[in-house]
Structure 1
Amino acid sequence: MASVAGGLTRKRGSTRRAMLVTAVDVLRERGAAGVTIDEVLARSGAPRGSVYYHFPQGRSQLLIEALNYAGDSLTEVIDAAADRGGIALVRQFVAFWERALAGSAYTAGCPVMAAAISSTEDDSVLATAAGEIFARWRDALSQTFRRDGFESADAESLAVMCIAALEGAVVLCRSTRTPEPLHQVGHQLEFLIKSREFVRVYGIPGR
């Protein structure tokens, strides 16, 4: 199964890293409630004693670190395309999620989204952490659109639209088991960006 945190393929590494990648995979598939110590140990093959050696605060620490690990991995996707402009960045995200979804046979979505909608009291801190990750993505996307020439307000609005639309597309792809929603959303976002660029450069007649 492909792993978002592992750059789409799980690579060999430390026991600690293996547990983090496994926790991300479970979070993508089952949400925060599904991330249990037993499940992570069973999938990663890590010895039970490694849990409190690497994560002395137990499940809560494992969850938070796994979420941040996934968030950092996805931020790398933004950074890799940021210098090429907003449209290139949207295309990078579409390609990334298409590979990630296909690699999981459409059984796993975005770990940050899964954490954001966590509703149990024990996992409420995850929603806050997820919000911080989304804010980092918004700021990075906004900076890209500002470099494209957009004013700050328009750049932030486009960034929020891209995140919301692409995250929604991932959910639709997972439920329909097809990449088509990602392709459709990607095309519409590109059209929106180009249209806003046209307005920015040429203005609107009669406005």
Structure 2
Amino acid sequence: MSAQAPSLRERQRSRTRADLVNAALTVLARRGLEASTVTLITQAAGTSRATLYAHFPEGRSQLLLEAYELLGHRVLEAAKAHRAGAEDWAGRIRASLVAMLELASEREIGLFYNVSGPQLVGRGARGIGSSTTRRTIADELELARFRGLLAEGVDPEATAALLVGAIREAGIDAALEPSSAASRLAAFDGLLRGLAVR
């Protein structure tokens, strides 16, 4: 039994919601978080405040949370594309940092995703980007360990948690100072080399 196609009204509702989220990201990229007001976002989306609140009853914070989640999915998709071209386990882990540095090259978006956005998710919770990246890295390390490619005593779960933290910090640094991206990538490569069997 196939699922029923969404109605025209449901498709329009989804499109309007997506337009609002994309408008929020556009305003964030141009103006930064503090200046990303409901007025500017609705102007960028070509809609009204009433429409925004109809889709996001909690207002700006709910809209920004959805924008944060969308960025998480974008980072994951970019990392997946980079992993496809990687030659080994270290390259597949490195792909997550490369994707983060690409996002961080948009200063305000990089700061929002790495600094402000996590506050929207709340303490003790992780966004889709961090939790999926952590799982992906842990799986990659576990497979490398199984194949005898990791140094003795490397704990895949604990190491994945630390590497995700390193990725987030590199994203913050690169958003604040774009010229730091190359040195953060080189340092991350050094961490990965240190995990390998010698």
- Asked if Structure 1 and Structure 2 have the same fold, meaning a TM-score greater than 0.5 normalized by the shorter chain, the answer is yes
Over the residues paired in the alignment, what is the CA RMSD in angstroms? 3.3
| Aligned partners of 1:25 and 1:108 also within 8 Å | no
| Equivalent position amino acid for 2:143 in 1 | R
Distance 1:161 1:86 in 2: 17
Paired positions, count: 176
* 1:131 is aligned to 2:126: yes
Task: Give the match for residue 40 of structure 1.
Answer: 41
* 1:89 is aligned to 2:92: yes
Task: Give the match for residue 188 of structure 2.
Answer: 189
1:20 shift after superposition? 1.0
Q: Any gaps of 5 or more consecutive residues in structure 2? A: 1-13
Per the alignment, do residues 77 and 110 of structure 1 end up closer, same or farther by CA in structure 2, a change over 3 Å counting? farther
Distance 1:129 1:69 in 2: 20
Per the alignment, do residues 115 and 140 of structure 1 end up closer, same or farther by CA in structure 2, a change over 3 Å counting? farther
1:155 shift after superposition? 1.7
Distance 2:133 2:28 in 1: 19
Structure 1 length-normalised TM: 0.65
Greater gyration radius: 2
* Structure 2 counterparts to residues 13-28 of structure 1, below 5 A: 14-26=15-27
Task: Give the match for residue 203 of structure 1.
Answer: none
| Equivalent position amino acid for 2:55 in 1 | H
1:34 shift after superposition? 4.8
| Secondary structure of the structure 2 residue equivalent to 1:62 | helix
| Equivalent position amino acid for 2:196 in 1 | E
Per the alignment, do residues 23 and 89 of structure 1 end up closer, same or farther by CA in structure 2, a change over 3 Å counting? farther
Task: Give the match for residue 9 of structure 2.
Answer: none
* 1:140 is aligned to 2:136: yes
| Equivalent position amino acid for 1:147 in 2 | L
Identity of aligned residues (%): 20
